[in-house]
Amino acid sequence: MHISTYSTADRAARASATRVLECLRTHPSLVLGLPTGLTPVPLYRALVRAHQLGRADFSQATTFNLDEFLGLGRGDAGSYRTFMDTHLFAHVNLPPRRAHVLDGRAKDWRAEVKAYDARIQRVGGLDLVILGIGRNGHLGFNEPGPTLAARTHRVRLRTATRRANAGLFEGDWRRVPTHALSMGIGTILGAREIILLATGQTKARIVARALHGPITTRVPASLLQAHPNVAVCLDRDAASAL
Ligand code: GLP
């Protein structure tokens, strides 16, 4: 694991954007795994800016988002699809057919999660996955537990996770769906390269447990310690308990 600490959240996000842009330049048909949440917003801002300046060409890239709320999809205000449209997809030249987000409104979620893994396999797997981290150590929506699902699956969200996502639902956590679809931990760890981006004091404790604590499914992000190619980008606050 290569851990870098930056003076501000914006600098940490820009450092991860720089790596995405480097990969995109050397490998235009890059397959990216993408997160949602407040943390990656400045990263997406940097990617959009680079594209506007002619420094980022997404025309051959493919993206797979990590997760989506069950019951929500394209056009729904709280959906991660809408989040991605707003922060990235609408502003870069990524072909819409290659911008994959799980469809939380799919009639048959079992078929949806199977098809998602198959699509990832068909394009040769994930080259680079960007991850945020939940305060309980979740990655995507892989919540802590006695076991973790390897492949894309349906999850029941913890109340704490629903509260953390309330911002997408006008601050009312009860409106946050109770379930979600999430890329599995095996699919995530199958990526050739991973960047974990964490910023803010609220992440300090879990970052320390994930990076230096025991590897356990009770802290899903701790499994990153077993991956050979992980870069961790932190701001000073998130690094303060290391
Ligand atoms: C959600 C997402 C995660 C994300 C986490 C942290 O639960 N499913 O992928 O890492 O939020 O979000 P934030 O960056 O807003 O702290």
- Mean pLDDT of each 10-residue bin along the chain, 242 residues long: 97 98 98 97 98 98 98 95 98 98 97 98 98 97 96 96 94 96 98 98 98 98 98 98 97
Atom of ligand 1 nearest to the CA of 161: 7
CATH hierarchy code of domain 2-235: 3.40.50.1360
Dist CA 21 CA 140 (whole Å): 22
Active site residue 22: no
- Is residue 198 within a helix (H) or strand (E), and if so which, with residue range? strand 193-198
Question: Could you say which of 10, 76, 85, 136 is catalytic?
Answer: 136
Strand locations in 7-165 (E): 31-34, 62-65, 67-69, 99-100, 128-131, 153-156
Active site residue 138: yes
Q: What does the pLDDT read at residue 240?
A: 98
Closest CA to 207 of 230, 185, 240: 240
160-179 pLDDT, tens digit per residue, is 999 999 999 999 999 999 99
Atom of ligand 1 nearest to the CA of 202: 16
Take atom 1 of ligand 1 and give the residue whose Cα is closest: 37
Query: 181, exposed or middle or buried, with CB in 10 Å at 0-12, 13-18, 19+?
Result: buried
Q: What does the pLDDT read at residue 203?
A: 98
Question: Could you say which of 68, 127, 143, 237 is catalytic?
Answer: 143
- The CA–CA distances, whole Å, from 3 to 69, 76, 234 equal 31, 36, 8
Residues with Cβ within 8 Å of residue 233, at least 6 apart in sequence = 4, 6, 12, 13, 15, 16, 195, 196, 197, 198
Dist CA 26 CA 34 (whole Å): 19
**79 CA to centre of ligand 1 in angstroms:** 13
Domain boundaries, the chain: 2-235
Q: What does the pLDDT read at residue 11?
A: 98
Active site residue 212: no
Dist CA 224 CA 211 (whole Å): 8
Question: Could you say which of 51, 87, 100, 138 is catalytic?
Answer: 138
- Is residue 183 within a helix (H) or strand (E), and if so which, with residue range? none
Specify the pTM: 0.97
**226 CA to centre of ligand 1 in angstroms:** 21
Closest CA to 14 of 45, 35, 37, 38: 45
39, 136, 181, 207, best to mutate for ligand 1 pocket (most atoms within 8 Å of CB): 39
Q: What does the pLDDT read at residue 174?
A: 96
Q: What does the pLDDT read at residue 128?
A: 98
185-204 pLDDT, tens digit per residue, is 999 999 999 999 999 999 99
